[in-house]
Structure 1
């Protein structure tokens, strides 16, 4: 299998963490890809017409894209159990969607302030994205503590990758100050070997 990949992407990192947790990172060949909404660059547009990564080229069918599709496929292929059966599945999927939403808002902020031409940038729009992040972090801290303390699943991995991206691209925002319980969870989670290997 080939994974179109950029190490700074929180969505690529989700896939890589799953592979490391499964002990299967060597089953995927990494293909570097880079681009933006303004310039597709080396993004695999022939594999994913949306021009996004990750994209997983597999031997038994069309290329898969969107990190949630890829992680579900790999979870099934590798029998990792990171998506539990219902009824717990719905909590896992909701937390995964929350983590992905945090990452998406943070990526859009990065594009707005570093990719768009300076004269076209909207700090107000970027702040609107940060409000999404902050609301989501508060919701996780208020409602998901017991889930975060439970068995490892893709919801936790998605959230961890989103928090890592906040540290990478938006460290000056200091999200930890307003979310100390989540910050404490992240400190422990970030020490997992699969997270350390993909940092």
Structure 2
């Protein structure tokens, strides 16, 4: 059995859990919590970066990060399921995955800046820089609604929106009604989205 090292709040680990469910692989993966801050957690020997998600294969090889894991799981499931084989669809799905992951990257940096750094040391310019990335990405998604069967891009965007709900009280919802509607439809189609909510 494969082992997924994860944290419930991680949008990247959530992406993998949803992908595994859609690919019919959930019963082949044991979900094991990891503490990235704990120097005694075996995560650091499994992944030298000490990051999640990390997927431990049955032969002990560790795969990371979420994009590599998603690609591997799609391959195990026969290929072309969540990462389309046809070039135009494939690169659109991968582009959306990069956009969703980029929203998460920026949101995590804001979270670290505001939740872990002492108030006197916080850098408003750094927060504004990251918020600008999120705002532009959301505006782009609002202007061009997502369509088609769920793929890795849709999953990544959904997880990014879920992370904004979790950490930033869903403030994005007030100005992105089409994205709100899309996420509600995604959650109806992909039951693992609500099942993996932190």
Q: Does 1:137 align with 2:135?
A: no
> Within 5 Å, which residues of 2 pair with 1:32-181?
32-36=33-37, 42=41, 44-60=43-59, 62-79=61-78, 81-85=81-85, 86-143=87-144, 145=145, 148-171=146-169, 174-181=171-178
Q: TM-score, normalised by structure 1?
A: 0.90
Q: CA deviation at 1:7?
A: 0.8
| C-alpha contact 2:53 2:64 (8 A) present in aligned 1 | yes
Distance of 1:124 and 1:88 partners within structure 2: 37
Assess if the C-alpha contact under 8 Å between 2:54 and 2:62 holds in 1.
yes
The alignment of Structure 1 onto Structure 2 pairs a total of residues equal to: 193
Aligned to 1:196: 194
TM-score (norm 2): 0.90
Contact 2:36–2:43 (CA under 8 A) maintained in structure 1: no
Give me the whole-angstrom Cα distance separating, in 1, the residues matched to 2:120 and 2:78. 49
Q: Which residue of 180, 185, 190 maps to 2:182?
A: 185
Stretches of structure 2 that go unaligned for 5 or more consecutive residues are none
Question: Measured at CA, do residues 9 and 79 of structure 1 come closer, stay the same or move farther in structure 2, by a change above 3 Å?
Answer: same
Counterpart-to-counterpart distance in 2, 1:4 and 1:121: 31
Shift of 1:183: 1.3
What secondary structure does 1:49 align onto? coil
Cα RMSD, aligned residues only: 1.8
